[in-house]
Every structure is written in structure tokens, then in C-alpha cells.
Amino acid sequence: MSCTVKIVTLGCPKNIVDSRQMKGCLLNEGFSITDNTSDADVIVINTCGFIEDAKRESIATILEMLEWKERGRCRFIIAAGCLAQKYADEIAREIPEIDAVIGTGDLPRLIDTIKKLDTGERINCVGDPNSFLYNSKWAQYQCETGHYAYVKIAEGCDNACSYCVIPAMRGSYRSRSIEDIVFEAENLAEQGVKELILVAQDTTLYGYDIYKHLELPKLLRELVKISGIRWIRLLYSYPSNITDELLYTIKSEDKICSYLDIPLQHISDRVLERMGRPINQQETKALISKIKYIIPDIVLRSTFIVGFPGEKEEDFNELLSFINEYKFDRAGFFAYSKEPGTKAAKLDQQINKQLKIKRLERALAVQSEVLSTKQAAKIGHELIIIVDGPSNDYEGLWEGRTQGDAPEIDGVVYFKPQTGVVPGMFKSVRVTHSQEFALMGEIIDESC
């Protein structure tokens, strides 16, 4: 069966990597890939199911794609990814129009699944998520973002956070080999990628399962050797595995961005214990102080959950004081989402939705003040940016990112383009104005 396939990607960068791999396999088997829904014979929705909002988005997208099956060229709809892994039976029961469901551990069966769709059989292809770990032997699809690329260095999670469904969706922690990751990164560099963004459920645990040692520093030292790669960025760095060796590696290697994304989730010891987090308030504060001492120019990003079961007003105020004192450069906040099958869903003292929203708004307001002050302090400074391309926000302007800005989740720098500027170039920009989530600047040289 030769046909045209569209893959719709929802959720986090880990899903972006999975979709890239699926596209590579499809092309290798003679299928065509399209971004136009109206041209697709088969539509694959790579779903997210991390929290309630993500599940709603996934279901809404599935229903939207089913409309194309009813009125257009599309013949078959496949649900894949995290939501499909955890809720395969429910999806099959509640949305019978779906032709196949594929779990996170069954992506290698995508080709055979599509080939079987002509039989009219509804296919449930959801097994053990631990059964698959992608590697560089998969056909590599051209990186769609062009000058930056996400590289998944491990899959799954062994942490026992009481609120999280990831282990059920992705399985236990499984590292790829250093050699395999380097091979993929070299291939991406040959495609013109300038920035590697390393992702996993827990990047700082990298290598422990296969090398019996935390090997993220060693991996980084191998990746910086790749010609053409200018920046290497770390996301999802679990705090309890941030070692001195890692920090000094970041400090000593110019290609590694002075940027750490550390999901802390809370600061109250009582809440952290109920969350099942392995690092307490004193250890968290000591870690942040050490990071800033070793890497003074570090940009720190974190995420926090408000409204966790049992979070008292004093716990929440403790979090607000912490945010105001430590002044994270970037921070995301989420209202607690009660996920079926998690330990937290069974905890007492569940907090009502209205109070969670109110606390979320208060936390966002505190961080907004912090960020506005930090952004304003950059006016007049010269910053190195990677050019991303024309802005969707302001006609006639382009945008880029500093070392302190990961794509999609952090800020941008707007500027008027000069002749010859193309995405992937590095430019020096003088900041002229600031916004809460963006800067405005002007290019002050032709090359950087």
C-alpha cells in the first residue's frame, strides 16, 4: 500500500523527535509525506496525555482530523503517542471511527499497521512501552526546523513523582549509547543544524542504566567536537542528578549554552514530600547557589505546580517568596492536574479548581514582575542571537533567540533584517526595547 501520510504532532519536543523518526521510516518504505491535510490518505495524530489540558487537545485534534475522513480524501485515521498508550481501550470504545491505535513502544509497527488498514480491520497495536528505543539506524527524516533540532538521548522515567503518568506512557528509563547519539548529531549537522537541544524525561540521569555512571558530561564533551554545531542546549535536567562535573563541563565548553532547565515543581518540604520529589528545600537552595557560583552567567528555567493536594496557603506563600527571592530567568507554572492511576490522585485534601486558578494567577503575577525587571535590564546590552526567521507577530520584523531562550517555550528578540540574513545565522544585536517575553534590537554587525 503506497499512500500519502500526514503526521500531526502534539505535546513536547520528545514527540517531535518521534514524529521525525516516523516520517523517516515512511519515506524509506516508499510512502509520501505531506503537511496538507487535504492531500493525506492517512493521518497519524501523535498525541500527548501528560495533563488534562493536553488530553483535551489530543481528543479535539482527533475529532478534527476525523472530519477530513468524512468529507475528504483521507481514508484512515491513526492515534499514536502517549494518549494512545495509556488510553487505548477508551479511545477504541469512545471513538470507533479511528482505524488504528499505536502505542509509544510500537512505533516500529507503523508501516505494517498502515499496510493492514485496507483489510477493514480495526487495529490495536499497543504493547509494552519498554520494548522500543529509537536509534540512528532508523531512516533520518530531514529536520523540519532547519537550523535547530531536538535529540532524544533517553526514553522513559524511573522517578516516582506521585502526580506523573509518564512512566505508564513511556516505560522505564533507557539511555541510548553515546556513539548512537553522536552519529545522529553528526547527521543533523550535515543537514545544516546549528543548535542541538538534548531532551529526555530526565537528561541528567543519562547513561546510568547502561554505563553505571552519570555520563551526560561525557556525552556533551563528545558532541562539542562536531563541526558545524554552534550551540548545545539542555532541557529537563532533574535537580538531584546535577553534578559538579556537569556544571564545570557547561562552564568550560563554549558550545554548551549557559542555560539549565530544572523542573523543581515546588519548594515547600511538605508539598515536595507528597509529590515524591527526592530533593528538599534546603538542598534545592544549595544547588541553585552552587550553580550560580560555578556559572555566574547561567540562565535558569524551572517549572512549578500550584494547587497540589494538601498545598496550604502557607505552602503556597513559601513558593511565592522563593520565586521572588531567587528570580528565575524563565519559569512556567501549571495548576495541578489530577491524573487517573497516579498516587497523587488518591491523596486527600484535593484542592478545588477555583482556588488552583487563583493561585496560578498569583504565581504568574510574581514571575511577571521578576521577568519584566530582568528584561528591562538588558536594554543597551549586546547579545548574540541565532536567527530563526520572519516573525509571525510583527510584519516586517524577524526574530531570533539568545542562549537563554529555548524555542517555543522562552522569549525571542525581534529585529529588522538586513540583506543576506537567513535562518541559522548568528548575529550580534543591541537591545533597544524590552517586553515581558521579548526584546527588540538592532543588528550591529554582519557576522558573528
> What does the pLDDT look like over 244-275, one tens digit per residue?
999 999 999 999 999 999 999 999 999 999 99
Whether 137 is in a domain gets the answer no
Task: Find the mean pLDDT for residues 412-434.
Answer: 93
Q: Which of 79, 100, 131 is the last residue of a domain?
A: 131
Q: Which of 88, 105, 131 is the last residue of a domain?
A: 131
Residue 165 and residue 119 share a domain: no
Residue 179 and residue 317 share a domain: yes
Residue 348 per-residue DSSP state: S
Residue 434 and residue 343 share a domain: no
Which residues are paired to 400 by β-bridges? 387, 413
Q: Which of 152, 153, 158 is nearest to 173 (CA)?
A: 158
Residue 107 to residue 265: CA distance in whole angstroms: 31
Residue 26 to residue 8: CA distance in whole angstroms: 14
Residue 420 and residue 353 share a domain: no
CATH label of the domain that carries residue 296: 3.80.30.20
For the beta carbon of residue 252, count every other beta carbon within 10 angstroms.
Answer: 11
Residue 315 and residue 364 share a domain: yes
- What is the count of structural domains for the chain? 3
Residue 281 and residue 296 share a domain: yes
Residue 185 and residue 55 share a domain: no
Grid look-up 530533593 returns 279
Mean pLDDT of the chain: 93
Residue 230 and residue 355 share a domain: yes
CATH label of the domain that carries residue 63: 3.40.50.12160
Residue 250 and residue 154 share a domain: yes
Residue 162 to residue 160: CA distance in whole angstroms: 6
Task: Find the mean pLDDT for residues 100-123.
Answer: 90
Whether 143 is in a domain gets the answer no
Residue 161 to residue 343: CA distance in whole angstroms: 8
290-346 pLDDT tens trace: 999 999 999 999 999 999 999 999 999 999 999 999 999 999 999 999 999 999 999
Q: Is the pLDDT of residue 212 over 90?
A: yes
CATH label of the domain that carries residue 391: 2.40.50.140
> Residue 448 — very low, low, confident or very high, per pLDDT cuts 50/70/90?
low
Whether 54 is in a domain gets the answer yes
Residue 387 and residue 367 share a domain: no
> Residue 13 — very low, low, confident or very high, per pLDDT cuts 50/70/90?
confident
Q: Which of 373, 344, 388, 343 is nearest to 435 (CA)?
A: 373
Q: What is the pLDDT of residue 447?
A: 62
Residue 87 and residue 18 share a domain: yes
Whether 138 is in a domain gets the answer no
Q: Which domain holds residue 425?
A: 382-443
Whether 9 is in a domain gets the answer yes
Q: What is the pLDDT of residue 49?
A: 87
The residue ranking higher by pLDDT, 27 or 344, is 344
- CA Rg, the chain, in Å? 22
Q: Is the pLDDT of residue 138 over 90?
A: no
Whether 110 is in a domain gets the answer yes
Whether 142 is in a domain gets the answer no
Residue 354 and residue 225 share a domain: yes
Q: Is the pLDDT of residue 446 over 60?
A: no
Q: Which of 430, 59, 55 is nearest to 413 (CA)?
A: 430
Q: Where are the beta strands (DSSP E) in 370-425?
A: 382-390, 398-401, 412-415
Whether 423 is in a domain gets the answer yes
33-80 pLDDT tens trace: 999 999 999 999 999 988 888 899 999 999 999 999 888 789 999 999
Q: Which of 347, 376, 405 is the last residue of a domain?
A: 376
Q: Which of 47, 108, 50, 39 is nearest to 79 (CA)?
A: 47
DSSP assignment string, 154-218: EE------TT--HHHHH-S-EEPPHHHHHHHHHHHHHTT--EEEEE-S-GGGTTHHHHSS--HHH
Residue 310 to residue 304: CA distance in whole angstroms: 15
The answer to whether 407 and 145 are in contact (CB under 8 A) is: yes
Q: Is the pTM of this model over 0.85?
A: yes
CA 393 to chain centre: 22
For the beta carbon of residue 86, count every other beta carbon within 10 angstroms.
Answer: 25
Q: Which of 168, 164, 201 is nearest to 337 (CA)?
A: 164
Residue 414 to residue 411: CA distance in whole angstroms: 10
